[in-house]
Structure 1
Amino acid sequence: MIDFENQTDLEIDISSFEIIHNDLTPKDIELILVKNDEIQILNKEHRNIDKATDVLSFPLEYDMPNMPLGSIVISVDFVEDKAKEYNHSFLDELTLLFIHGHLHLLGFDHEKDNGEHREKEEELIKKYNLPNSLIVRNS
């Protein structure tokens, strides 16, 4: 299950995210949509980077029964900008960032691994017929 918190004025249907989520894990997650100013605060607080970013993942440190996997925070401002830049829909870009953040919750880390994150992301992009994601675009 996805515990969805939308802190924006946009109406978002996350039913497709539930399908992807259920394919990846039985554990619950939290998905929070924010604007750039809020994600910038979180990025500074947790990563010491004082700028907005597209997606942040916060995996829970302990794997205990019935505990959620963690939280994903996505900036809708980034989603809007990248969707326009790459000429695809808002929902497609949001889905790409959801997948990217979700894989981080599952332990994938493109900054440290040997391409496993990119490979899994590519697999999901093809499975769900999505446009290329940031990690794939940059590889």
Structure 2
Amino acid sequence: MIDIDNRTDTTIETSLLERIAQSLSDRDVELILVHDDEMAQINEETRAIAKTTDVLSFPYADMPGVPLGSIVISEDFVKRGAQEYGHSEDDERALLFIHGMLHILGYDHEVDNGEMRVKESELIKAFDLPESLIVRTEES
């Protein structure tokens, strides 16, 4: 189950996100939706990077009854990404959610040998989504 803390005025459809989460873990996940200003603040407080970003992930301890972790998504990034890449905001949010879930599960595209990219690609195909964040980053 996804516990949503929506700090924006955007109404979202959660069924796709729920299916993605259930395909990866049977543990609950917290999803926090914010605007760029709050994301920049969270990014600076947690990573000492003084700018906004698209998605942040915070895994929790592996203990019974404790959620898997928190994923924070900037809805401003969702809107811009959907517009730039010509797909829906739901698709863009799902891509960011997948990326965040994989980080919570221990994948790290900055240091792995492509494992996260492979897993992300598998999920994108399984859920019929457009190209991934990693692919977009590698192509730019």
Give the TM bin, normalised by the shorter chain.
Answer: over 0.9
Would you say 1:103 and 2:102 are equivalent positions? yes
TM-score w.r.t. the length of structure 1 is 0.97
Measure how far apart 1:65 and its partner are: 1.2
CA deviation vs aligned residue, 1:24-62 (integer Å, no higher than 9, x gap): 0011110000000000000000110000000000001x2
Q: Report the CA distance between 1:64 and its aligned residue.
A: 0.9
Alignment-derived partner of residue 90 in structure 1: 89
The separation in 2 between residues aligned to 1:49 and 1:89, in whole angstroms, is 29
Q: How far apart are the structure 2 equivalents of 1:138 and 1:72?
A: 20
- Structure 2: 5+ residue stretches without partners: none
Could you say what the CA RMSD is over the residues aligned between the two structures, in angstroms?
A: 0.8
- Counterparts of 2:131 and 2:14, CA distance in 1: 20
Q: Residue in 1 aligned with 2:39?
A: 39
User: In the TM superposition, what is the alpha-carbon distance from 1:23 to its structure 2 partner?
Assistant: 0.8
Alignment-derived partner of residue 64 in structure 2: 65
User: Which stretch of structure 1 is more off in the superposition, 67-76 or 129-138?
Assistant: 129-138
Among the aligned pairs, what percent are the same residue? Answer: 60
Equivalent residue number for residue 12 of structure 2: 12
Structure 2 counterpart of 1:80, one-letter code: K
* CA deviation after TM superposition for structure 1 residue 138, in Å: 2.5
The separation in 2 between residues aligned to 1:133 and 1:38, in whole angstroms, is: 24
The answer to whether the aligner puts 1:50 opposite 2:53 as a matched pair is no
1-structure distance, mates of 2:79, 2:99: 17
How much has 1:92 moved relative to structure 2?
A: 0.5
Match of residue 75 from structure 2: 76
Query: What's the offset of the Cα at 1:68?
Result: 0.8
Once the two structures are superposed, residues 96-117 of structure 1 have per-residue CA deviations (whole angstroms, 9 ceiling, x without a partner) of: 0000001011000111111111
> Post-superposition shift, 1:122?
0.3
Segments of 5+ residues of structure 1 without an aligned counterpart are none
Structure 1 Cα separation of the partners of residues 87 and 19 of structure 2 = 21
How many pairs align?
138
The TM-score, its normalising length taken from structure 2, stands at 0.96
Residue of structure 1 in register with 2:25 after alignment? 25
Letter of the 2:5 partner, please give it: E
Paired with 1:72 and 1:59, the residues of 2 have a C-alpha distance of: 9
